[in-house]
Amino acid sequence: PPSIDAGILTVMASFSSWNGQKITGNKTLITDVLKGRLGFEGFVVSDWNAHGQLQGCSNVSCPQAMNAGLDMYMAPDSWKGLYENTLKQVKSGEIPMARLDDAVRRILRVKVKAGLFDRVAPQVQGKFDRLGSADHRAVAREAVAKSLVLLKNDGVLPIKSGANVLVAGAADDIGKASGGWTLTWQGTGNTNADFPHGQSIWGGLKEAVEAAGGKATLAKDGKFSGTKPDVAIVVFGEDPYAEFQGDVANLAYQPNGKTDLELLKKLKAQGIPVVAVFLSGRPLWTNPEINASDAFVAAWLPGSEGGGVADVLVAGKDGKSRRDFTGKLSFSWPKRADQGPLNRGQPGYDPQFAYGYGLSYAKPAKVGALSENAGELGTAASVDRYFVAGRVPAPWMLSFSGAGAVKTIDAGAQENGRQATWTGEGEGLLAVQGPPVDLSRQTTGDMAVMVRWRVDKAPTAPVYLTVGCGESCGGRLDVTSTLSGLKNSEWRTAKIKLSCFQAAGAQMAHVSSPFGLSTSGPLTISLTEIQLASNEGDAFCPK
């Protein structure tokens, strides 16, 4: 209400549901409450193709959304068909003319208020040379330092002056420290060069350690030679994600292979005190990682000002802390991986670290060994990862049926790939199969099936990539030309839009086989990765 009273002129209806009804088609909320009771006079816009998720709708036809009060469809790739169908629906009376007039009036009102009809060239307001200026970065660095939450400290922090410090993990990755919605939609594929004038956590630590008379060494894998380090700082956490790719079945961190925990334990086993700096967009169940660390810092997503982390972790040359921890948990930290939601005041509230928790140098506390019982995690299917790092996450299975076979291979790492061979003596199918999952949101969100593959023997017959949704249900695409264009024995990555399979007949609401590759001719292909990925302008429909 205060935003509406202040004159806000646009509201986006989210993908979400309320009491089981999609917001985009909820007339009670959009028309009766927002526009009626709250007096909102601007226009309501949908999220990306969200109208296509309403019952009885598609991306190119949805009178239900406009009749519910939506004024503007967000239809980046479906606008033409949507325009044509909406025009027909107004002419037929399915969408009342008065409703269309109201939508147009609201949109024009916003444009008038924004001065778009003043016929005056827009004036650039602000001084863009101030972006990334020293004083702005100083504010950002201060925000990073203040946001850090100390969950555990067994006397290893702050790092003493003159210390020999080993820095491991993802410390030199600004993209990982920034998360999703950073330069790209999912925040993936970014390098440090994409953050001019930014400083990684490693850069900040090296600067601070050396200023205090010490030595800092970067080793991603934690290996070192010569003198044993006085302390190791391991930076690790979630890979960048935005919507869809960040969805998880529970709060367990790295449930399908705890490689970061192995690194922490390896360093501890060598008698090196370990400081864990955990990067994440949310609290996750990390009790094993906390137990394996002498200090554990929830660093959230510090972005491009890694020096803010070092300001708190590393003591000055005089041996005194340069800045104390002041951050407190704004979300409760889980005791088990099955604790979601976990909000104070709810029945049975039992967190590992409660809302408002946060240690400091001034007010330390002992944290004993934590329970490593993850709770009841169930067998929920991973909706976006099918074959990664040599593993097929349960309950998915990768199998070959028909004329051919599949075997495990080494592809840059031990047993991290599969090689499928079709004999040409009949139809063969390599497929990922499992319980049905709903990929309608991911399809609407323009996500793609990403495959990293290598052609070892070129196709001589048509090759089809499929998404299956049960018996006699699926979408099949001819990828013969795509594979024929690849050089033999050269690894390549392809992203095929989910919407291509939907257009070919797949019902994306109950996908039981998110990947299938079939041919009746001889063919040999190796794969190291099959998963869903965001379309960063590099996904396509095979022709």
Q: What is the pLDDT of residues 61-97, one digit of tens each?
A: 999 999 999 999 999 888 999 999 999 999 999 999 9
Catalytic site includes residue 311: no
Q: Among 196-200, 375-379, 538-542, whose mean pLDDT is lowest? A: 375-379
Domain 134-313 has CATH 3.40.50.1700: yes
Query: β-pairing, 417-423 with 404-409?
Result: antiparallel
Q: What is the pLDDT of residue 219?
A: 97
Q: Which CATH architecture has domain 385-533?
A: Sandwich (2.60)
Q: What is the pLDDT of residue 317?
A: 95
| Average pLDDT over every residue of 189-218 | 96
Q: What is the pLDDT of residue 167?
A: 98
Q: What is the pLDDT of residue 459?
A: 93
* Catalytic annotation, pick one of 173, 243, 260, 294: 243
- From the DSSP assignment, how many helices (H) and strands (E) are in the chain? 14, 21
* Catalytic annotation, pick one of 47, 173, 384, 446: 47
**From CA 529, how far away is CA 119, in angstroms rounded?**
53
Q: Any idea where the domains of the chain sit in the sequence?
A: 2-113, 134-313, 385-533
Q: Which residue has the tokens 């095979």?
A: 542
Q: Among 169-178, 203-212, 274-283, 401-410, whose mean pLDDT is lowest? A: 401-410
Q: Rounded to an integer, what is the distance from CA 395 to the centroid of its chain?
A: 21
Q: Which residue has the tokens 């025009």?
A: 87
pLDDT over threshold 80, residue 122: no
pLDDT over threshold 60, residue 380: no
pTM, two decimals, is 0.77
| Cis, peptide link before residue 462, omega less than 30° from 0 | no
Task: Report pLDDT digits (tens) over 295-343.
Answer: 999 999 999 999 999 999 999 999 999 999 999 999 999 999 999 889 9
Catalytic site includes residue 41: no
Task: Report pLDDT digits (tens) over 5-54.
Answer: 999 999 999 988 999 899 999 999 999 999 999 999 999 999 988 999 89
More confident residue, 132 or 23: 23
Percent of residues, the chain, with pLDDT higher than 70: 98
Q: What is the pLDDT of residue 379?
A: 56
Length of the chain: 543
Residues 276 and 168 sit within 8 Å (Cβ to Cβ): no
Among residues 54, 56, 72, 64, the alpha carbon closest in space to that of 95 is found at 64
Task: Report pLDDT digits (tens) over 480-509.
Answer: 999 988 877 789 999 999 999 999 999 999
